[in-house]
Amino acid sequence: MSKTMITGAAILLVLGILLFLKSSKKREENGEWSGALQWGYLLILVGAFGVLSYKMSFTAVLLIFVLLTGIAWIIHRSLKKKNPGHVDNNHFTDYMSGFFPIILVVFVLRTFLAEPFQIPSSSMRPGLITGDFILVNKFTYGIRLPILNNVLIPVNKVERGDVIVFNYPRDTRINYIKRVIGLPGDVITYKDKTLSINGKVISDIDEQKIYNYSEQLPQYGNINMQAQQVTEKLGNKSIQILKMPQQPPVILQAVHTDFPDRELCNYDADGSGFSCTVPAGKYFMMGDNRDNSEDSRYWGFVDDKLVVGKAFLIWLNMGDMKRIGTKIQ
């Protein structure tokens, strides 16, 4: 969440508290709570959600709200059950209990079934472009325990070539999307723009094409980029990737020296390549835009506990409606 958004959430929270303090806490003649009280609660909920999301994961914040509104719902229902026809004059339990079913449904859907994400960069071109809104299947790799993200009921295993969303290892509040290149035990080598897995070279299977796109860079504005588009056979998948001849296979200055299992990676001193052995329970990720992607070659491996789910569909792109409904390969 950006500083602008957290500031906006804090403002809403303060406004909500002020409305709550100044509002009437008694029912009006029509039996409803005052508009100021209802708006106060709504702004407090929205503001608190935004503020908490700055420090916690979206799932964790949803769980807190499920518990909070769930308690209000239980109290509200128990009063109704003991005294049929009873009117709950506690504005907190009466009003907050109404949010419980909605928040619970959102929590279940988002935690166990599917979750939407937006593509923020060009690291997965040509398949995924900036502005794509995608859906992630959270059930593909099994039902996971909320927050801890341990697999409770296994379904499928992560496969080489899958496009997955995961929590960025260096800041788990941030979500990344990359392609799985290496599974536990694999030896991944990238030398002179050629990928090898366990000693087997992953060759290009068609002729190179020129691929042009625009990249929005904060320090330079809109920049026109050109790359070579080729097809690789990765596992049972044929994937489109981009290569930029002017870029080195790895920018040594950008490699973090402190990521876990750093000793399992060796980098050529001239930046011409690297080799990494994937440890147990982790994966090696790379972007399809091979020379314009911040991925495992720079910050290390992705623990299975950080996996969010498998990307499977583009459901919206306001700049190119033709992309709607495109399956993610």
Residues 150 and 91 in one domain: no
Q: Residues 53, 57, 122, 123: which is the catalytic one?
A: 123
Residue where a domain terminates, one of 113, 130, 151: 113
CA angle 30, 34, 36 (to 5 degrees): 160
pTM score of the predicted model: 0.85
Residue where a domain terminates, one of 89, 113, 137: 113
How confident is the prediction along the chain (329 residues), in pLDDT tens digits per residue? 567 888 999 999 999 999 999 999 988 888 889 999 999 999 999 999 999 988 888 888 999 999 999 999 999 988 877 777 677 888 999 989 999 999 999 999 988 889 999 998 999 999 999 999 999 999 999 988 887 888 888 899 999 999 999 999 999 989 999 999 999 999 999 999 999 999 999 988 877 899 999 887 777 778 899 999 999 999 888 999 999 988 999 999 999 999 999 999 999 999 999 999 999 999 999 999 999 999 999 999 999 999 999 999 999 998 899 999 999 99
- 225: domain CATH number is 2.10.109.10
Q: Which two tokens stand for residue 2?
A: 């950006």
Establish whether 25 is a catalytic residue: no
Domain that holds residue 68: 3-113
- Residue 196's nearest CA partner among 264, 128, 123, 277 is 277
Q: Are 49 and 65 in contact (CB under 8 A)?
A: yes
Q: Which two tokens stand for residue 326?
A: 């495109």
Establish whether 122 is a catalytic residue: no
Residues 38 and 123 in one domain: no
The residue assigned the tokens 């990765």 is: 234
Q: How far is CA 224 from CA 10, 144, 197, 242, in A?
A: 38, 42, 32, 15
Position 329 in a domain:
no
Encode 264-295: b = buried (16+ Cβ within 10 Å), e = exposed: bbebbeeeebbebbbbeebbbbbbbbbbbbeb
Q: How far apart are CA 303 and CA 278, in angstroms?
A: 10
Position 328 in a domain:
no
Residues 30 and 126 in one domain: no
Paired with 53 in beta bridges are none
Q: How far apart are CA 287 and CA 125, in angstroms?
A: 8
Q: Residues 53, 122, 178, 293: which is the catalytic one?
A: 178
